Amino acid sequence: MSFRRDKEKSLKWQKWLKKHHDELIACGVPHNVLEDMGHWNCFLEHGYYTPVGSAEPIIYVDRMSKTDAERLCLFLEQDDFYPDCGTLNRLQYLLKRGRHAEPSV
């Protein structure tokens, strides 16, 4: 049974990625991160992704251009496949959006 669940999860990921691949690339997400669901999940959890054997992350939300950060943040806010991920929270904090928005005076 675990094989069936893994297969279903993999198919869901592939379908989702096919639909959103071009937008994610336009947001500044490198192909390496999208090659594997585990890489993408690691990025979503931590806000950066460092490939095996590399000393530096190939993507780190704290170092993204404001344009890419805003576009990725908007994408993640609208996409319900990965709600409440650490990357979205960090982007909202950096961009002062969502629950991190400055209160009106």
- The identity of residue 79, as a single letter, is D
Round the average pLDDT of the chain to a whole number and report it: 91
pLDDT in tens, 48-75: 999 999 999 999 999 999 999 999 999 9
18 secondary structure, DSSP code: H
Query: Model pTM?
Result: 0.88
Expressed as residue numbers, the domain containing 11 is: 2-100
Let me know if residue 47 belongs to a domain.
yes
Annotate 16-42 with b (16+ C-beta within 10 A) or e (fewer).
eeeebeeebeebebbeebbeeeebbeb
Let me know if residue 46 belongs to a domain.
yes
Let me know if residue 70 belongs to a domain.
yes
- Specify the number of domains making up the chain: 1
Position 99 pLDDT exceeds 90: no
Question: What does the pLDDT read at residue 5?
Answer: 63
